[in-house]
Structure 1
Amino acid sequence: MLDLISSGLVGFWLGVAGIHPEASAAWELLALQTAPALVLNSVPDSVAATTLQQYLQGLKTKGITSPEQGIWIQSGPLLLSENNGRVPLPAASLTKIATSLAALKTWGANHRFQTLISAAGPIQKGVLEGDLIVTGGGDPLFVWEEAIALGNSLNRLGISRVTGNLVVTGNFAMNYQSDPLKAGELLKQGLDASTWKAAAKMQYSTLPPGTPKPRVSIAGTVQVAAIANPKQILLLRHHSLSLAQILKEMNVYSNNEMAQMLGQMLGGAPSVRQIAATTTGVPDSEILLGNTSGLGMENQISPRAACAMFMAVQRELLPYKLSVADLFPVSGRDRRGTLELRHVPAGAVVKTGTLNEVSALAGVLPTRDRGLVWFVIINRGWQLESLRAGQDKFLQNLLHEWHASPVIPTAIAPHAIGVTPTPLGAASRNEILYKG
């Protein structure tokens, strides 16, 4: 069936691939052990090739031409079909796959960002006589729930009033607001329930029943300092969610601000591009980044490169006993964010991308006959709703031919995240340092 040049490695893959394609375990092994950039030229899969041509013809009838459409379909190291697969195209938020990969390579899936809370003055009878200092450590998901938990921890330390200012140092952001002064104003509000506005009240309502409302009133203003007060007394160390959980939230909602914050800490678009190219083995000429979120037409990635990056994320997660389902939305499971109105086949793990004239979809589709099928679709055109519907239908047509996997392969099943809601606002992540 396949016309491949024989070698020791190729022979191994052929041996695996030749063991009853309908056996999901064999195809799962094939997909798991592949180096992302390893693609073996073969006779195009007839089902993939025919379905792809029908899809492109359907686009053509709407005035959307093939040269502007990028498709890549791969199972393990076997290229099943493609169209403009090695051509960089505007990738929109598929860029976040590169950012996720670079973050994993740099910090690891279990990394937690730290935010320190300190006092610049004595604490007597519930009053901090001086400034309250927050030193940010780059947490891109410090939101209302985290501030509420922090205020409650300060109350447990006996602090209910601050006579001085709230001083912001380091890399601190809140509610995706990276301006330290604005972030500090949000934190000041979050620490004191008597000052809450509608947004804070709404997020409080999502916390477990009985969660206390914090009361830490700050008499002064919010100030930003480049250098922390050397005489500060450490009170609390706040640990963020794990990096894997942070990336899951970023990708489910395709949050641009989180991607930009992570990208800045990683060294910006050039650094993310280099890490992605090095990790996947794809030429960096196929990964052109102007930023790390995907905003703007300057971010251009070839379908092959996007596919290789998605597969590389899976490989990076294996030592942590996690999968891409722990970092990206799963159709039929994550009924929120960018998949809320989509009809992607159930069990597929995907990342969406949208600009005014770009609709993109990348991910992995579990099938019975071809195992894990990794795919990328990048469409150029203004009919975004029609393009999204066409992508969903294209995947449904492939699944109709290859049949749905009877069970979600363990290789792409959510392992540690997504079974229960993300534990934002968990007091257990506030480490008390002050002993009084």
Structure 2
Amino acid sequence: MEAIVADYVAGLRRQGWSVPDQGIWIQVGQSVVAEHRGSVLMPAASLTKLATTLAALQTWPLDHRFDTLVGLHGTLQSDGVLDGDLVIQGSGDPLFVWEEGIALANRLQELGIQRVTGEILVTGPFTMNFEEDQAESLVDLKQAMATSTWTWEARQAYANLAPGTPQPNLQIDGVARWIPTADLENVPIEWVVRHQSLPLVAILKAMNIYSNNVMAEMVAELVGGPAQVMAKATELAELPAGELSLANGSGLGVENQMSARVAVAMTVAMQRELSAQGFSVADVMPVAGEDVGTLIDRRLPLTAAVKTGSLAEVSALAGMVPTAEKGPVWFAIINKGWDIPDLRVQQDQLLQAIQAHWGAAEAPAEMRTKVRMQTGPFRYGDPSRNQVAQEAASE
């Protein structure tokens, strides 16, 4: 294995890349089998999301859901007209998308609400469709309520919902706007719906499949910010001092740095935490041959669970590759260079060489994917996640 890594590094040298700027760590079980500059801090791009994922696993159980409460401020008339405002209280759901908004509107209409004469008042952490501008989230929320105002994207999302899903037509006369929670402290509100997010394990899977920076920043902030992400990841993975430095939860910016050794340690810690609850890294990371997202056009060994990372002059890859002789082999590759497509090809070839050395195999049964997005309980816009408030309170 040392010869395989040496050949890989030699190939990078021949192409003109700076050898000291390349980090590699290959590990079987708890033992390193080959490495190059593996303990050196390097910009790691979206491998940062490994730390964010690990910190989330320490903060909440895998079945944790983020609630979005919906209430009425005003009087609901017998004809379905709410003389007043619709109140939305968010708690930071990172995956509130068009499908969720459409399903929520349908539930409100099922409860007899057909028109709101006032506004949609949004309070608490709320983001829709990964919008970085809060105003855009509020516009999307109102548009989701009525088919007549749907954008092309909303119609595409509706096509993902179960056949026969109603198309809502909830008329909102006013605008959607955000207000401080303190402004609602003495306002009478009748809470009517508790919308639950997908479970945390599915949120993390979606975040990592698409390496969604907005989702990662939201999760990191809910954990307590980048410093808390670092602290929790360091504790859970028992990281060596000085090999992890984060400025945010997504990996945007070269100031987010880690060693290849730390990337492997965090992935192994994730597997330990997940396996204790009947899951594996395949349930929170993209899997070769199953998930597209950031793995499109990659030539990785099938059933390898990996996390990619890219910046203008950084290409990184970390995760698990299955082998016949050694079982799961844990790895991290951090490259600095401007030819990102070529660096990715060479990363894929290194993983293929690792698997060829120890024999091709699929991931063991306990490390096969259980969380498949847009299937079963992991479908966007599942109406069962919009509970009538009274029913939710009795649980």
Once residues 99 and 134 of structure 1 are traced to their aligned partners in structure 2, the CA distance between those partners, rounded to angstroms, is 27
Q: CA deviation at 1:319?
A: 2.7
Q: Does 1:182 align with 2:139?
A: no
* Aligned twin of 1:254: 211
Question: Is 1:93 the counterpart of 2:46 in the alignment?
Answer: yes
Work out the number of aligned pairs and report it. Answer: 386
Residues in 2 aligned to 1:265 and 1:250: alpha-carbon distance in whole angstroms = 14
Query: Secondary structure in 2 aligned to 1:171?
Result: coil
More deviation, 49-58/426-435 = 426-435
AA aligned to 1:432 is V
Which residue number in structure 1 is paired with residue 304 of structure 2?
348
Give the superposition deviation at 1:419. Answer: 8.7
Per-residue displacement from partner, 1:147-200 (whole Å, max 9, x unpaired)? Answer: 000000001001110001110101111011254433222101001111111111
144, 168, 184: which one aligns with 2:98: 144
Between the aligned partners of 1:190 and 1:159, the Cα distance in structure 2 is: 15
Which residue identity does 1:365 align to in structure 2?
V
TM-score (norm 1): 0.86
Q: Distance in 2 between matches of 1:280 and 1:206?
A: 38
Matched residue, 2:18:
65
What is residue 276 of structure 1 aligned with on the other side?
Answer: 233
Q: Which residue does the alignment assign to 1:420?
A: 375
Q: Is the 8 A contact 1:168 1:180 kept in 2?
A: no
**Mapping for residues 31-430 of structure 1, pairs under 5 Å:** 48-124=1-77, 125-227=79-181, 228=184, 230-334=187-291, 336-405=292-361, 407-418=362-373, 420=375, 422-430=378-386
Q: Distance in 1 between matches of 2:31 and 2:63?
A: 32
Secondary structure at the counterpart of residue 359 of structure 1 = strand
Task: Please give the alpha-carbon distance, in whole angstroms, between the structure 2 residues aligned to 1:215 and 1:250.
Answer: 31
**Match of 1:42?**
none
Q: Quick one: distance in 2 between partners of 1:418 and 1:79? A: 33
Change (3 A) 1:115 1:178: farther
Stretch moving more, 271-280 or 348-357: 271-280
Residue 75 of structure 1 and its aligned partner are, at CA, apart by 0.5
Report the alpha carbon displacement of residue 396 of structure 1 after superposing the two structures with TM. 0.6
Alpha-carbon displacement from aligned partner over 1:2-44 (angstroms, at most 9, x marks no partner):
xxxxxxxxxxxxxxxxxxxxxxxxxxxxxxxxxxxxxxxxxxx
SS of match in other structure, 1:109: coil
Matches of 1:382 and 1:222, distance apart in 2: 44
CA contact (8 A) 1:274 1:284 kept: no
Look up the SS of the partner of 1:74 in the other structure: strand
Distance in 2 (alpha carbons) for counterparts of 1:409 and 1:239: 32
Mapped partners of 1:434, 1:330: distance in 2: 40
Superposed CA offset, 1:399-429 (max 9, x none): 1111112x43023111344593730000000
Give 1:391 shift: 0.2
1:53 deviates by 0.7
Q: Percent identity?
A: 47
Q: 1:284 to 1:183 in 2, by over 3 A?
A: farther
C-alpha distance in structure 2 between counterparts of 1:346 and 1:331, whole Å: 5
- SS of 1:235's equivalent? strand
Aligned 8 A contact 1:95 1:294 in 2: yes
- Letter aligned with residue 263 of structure 2: A
Matched residue type, 2:91: G
Match of residue 44 from structure 1: none
Aligned mates of 1:390, 1:98 — CA distance in 2:
25
Q: Which is worse superposed, 420-429 or 349-358?
A: 420-429
TM-aligned CA deviation for residue 397 of structure 1: 1.1
Structure 1 Cα separation of the partners of residues 131 and 371 of structure 2: 28
User: Is the alpha carbon distance of 1:408 and 1:419 closer, same or farther for their aligned partners in structure 2, counting shifts above 3 Å?
Assistant: farther
Structure 1: stretches of 5+ with no match in the other structure: 1-47
SS of corresponding position for 1:329? coil
1:394 Cα shift?
0.7
Q: Residue 411 of structure 1 aligns to a residue in which SS?
A: helix
Letter matched to residue 186 of structure 1: D
Please give the per-residue CA displacement for 1:56-107, whole angstroms capped at 9, x wherever unaligned. Answer: 1111110013211000000001110000111111000000000000001001
Aligned partners of 1:190 and 1:432: how far apart in 2? 19
1:111 match: secondary structure: coil
Aligned residue for 2:242, secondary structure, equals helix
Q: When the two structures are superposed, what TM-score results if normalisation uses the length of structure 2? A: 0.95
